Structures are given as C-alpha cells and as structure tokens.
Amino acid sequence: MRKKIVAGNWKMNTLPTEGVELAKGVAAGRAEVCDCVNIIVCPPFTHLQSVIETLKGANVAVGAQDCATESKGAYTGEVSAQMIAALGCEYVILGHSERRQYYGETSETLNKKMERAFENNLKPIYCVGENLEEREAGRHFEVVKAQIEEVVFNLTAEQFAQLVIAYEPVWAIGTGKTATAEQAEEIHAYIREVLRSKFGAAADECSILYGGSCKPSNAGEIFSKENVDGGLIGGAALKAEDFLAIGKAF
C-alpha cells in the first residue's frame, strides 16, 4: 500500500510567530484527518525549530524546502541537510520548479542535494513538472522523464524506497489553473511507468503527489485517481482549515 500524503509547502510566507500559529491550527485539527494520511508541513528555515516544537506529538511531520549541495564549510547563506536533520525534520523538498527557474537548479545540483539528504536520513520530496510552453508543445512526457532519469535513476533501491515524487506542472502553480484529474492521472501513471523501468515493482510503492492550485474544492477529484497519492500544496496550505480540508479529501 502506497502512503497517502498531503504536504504543505509554505514557500517564503509567514513570519515565525505566524508560522507557529499556523502549525497550532494544523495540530488542533489533525485528528479530523484520517491517520492513514501522512500530513507534512514545510515552513521556511527560520521557523523549522519552533514549528517542530509546536507539532511534537501531533502526528504531523516537518520538512525543509531545500538543502545545500555541500555538507558543511565556507558556503555563506546555505543551510545543510545535516542542520535540518538535527532539528528533527523528516523530509526535504528538492527540485521545486521555483528553485529550478529562479535559482538555476539543475540535475547536477539536485544529484548532490539528493546525496546530502540521504546521508542525513531525510526523505526527499522530489519535484518534477513541465512549463506551459513545454505542455503546449506536447513535450511534457519527455521533460518529466528527463527530470526523473537524470536524478532519480542515480538512486539505489534502498534510497528510492524513501523517495516521494511531486508532479507540479509549472503552469498550474499559483495560477488558479489546475490540471484536470485526467491530466494528472495520465502523467502520474506515466511517471510510475518510467520508475518501473528502473526500479521494478518498487515503483508501485512510491507516493506520487500532485501540486498546482490544489484546494479543498478540487482535491477530492484529483486524489480519487489511481496514481495520485496526495498533494503538495502551496497557497491553500497557509490556512490550517483549507489544508486540513485537503487532507480530508481522500
């Protein structure tokens, strides 16, 4: 059985006090969401620690939104996987399209980040997805395939067993434009097929999340699809009530 997951990517939103309030709201309503759904929140680095403390015993896991390519040393401004793990984070988002687009992340950098994450027992949530131009040119399958082959195919079977994948079409992120449930299922099934070609039956155990304008009103339909195992939520994760409503949408 694949894990069902609803993860909130807070991006560069909330001040530390606001983040703690949001985490309290998630903790307070957690019991209304099935235990069978893994709930994860990914706050900014500055409040990872206070959010982790707030969520102790609440059955909500915490992830970071990125980690450094290097282990430690003279890399001003960077935050290492080891630091994140030491705080008690369980997950780390890697390869988000905003990092690929605005900070020049490539498969090369992501291979390093993946290694750092696994060295520190962090479970990566690896993001893939095409932009509008690629979708319109019908290239979405090849784009996503390359993003997987160039990074995920370098993992060992043991590492792959810890990986979560998030399919986030760039044209659906923060735009209010959601992929239809059929579009999501089509590409999620394709992603699983690509994973199967390398990892065999283990591909059936890998959770593949959908991300991009996912909200309480559309989550149920998207999550009902066979190969959609949950969501990576941006805007709607900033309100505990909406985020939890998405958790209840399975």
Interface positions with ligand 13P (CB under 6 A): 9, 96, 168, 173-174, 211-214, 232-236
For residue 161, the minimal CB distance to ligand 13P (Å) is 23
Taking the complex as a whole, the smallest distance from the CB of residue 166 to ligand 13P amounts, in Å, to 7
- Determine which one of 96, 105, 130, 134 is catalytic: 96
Both tokens of 102, joined, read 């605005």
**Identified catalytic residue from 105, 130, 168, 185:** 168
Per the annotation, the verdict on 188 as an active-site residue is: no
Residue number, 33 or 42, with CB nearest to ligand 13P: 42
**168 is a catalytic site residue:** yes
User: Half-sphere exposure of 121 toward its Cβ, with a 13 Å CA cutoff?
Assistant: 6
Q: Residue 131 Cβ, how far from ligand 13P at the closest point, in Å?
A: 13
Query: In 102-206, where do the E strands start and end?
Result: 123-128, 164-167
Q: Which amino acid is at 10?
A: W
Query: Tokens at residue 91, please?
Result: 């997950």
Closest residue to ligand 13P using C-beta atoms: 234
Pick the closer one to ligand 13P by CB: 148 or 233.
233
Neighbours of 115 (CB within 10 A): 16
Task: Write out the H or E segment, with its range, that includes residue 185.
Answer: helix 181-199
Instruction: Round to whole Å and give the CA distance between 145 and 156.
Output: 18
Identify which of residues 204 and 241 has a Cβ nearer to ligand 13P in the complex. 241
Catalytic center residues: 96, 168
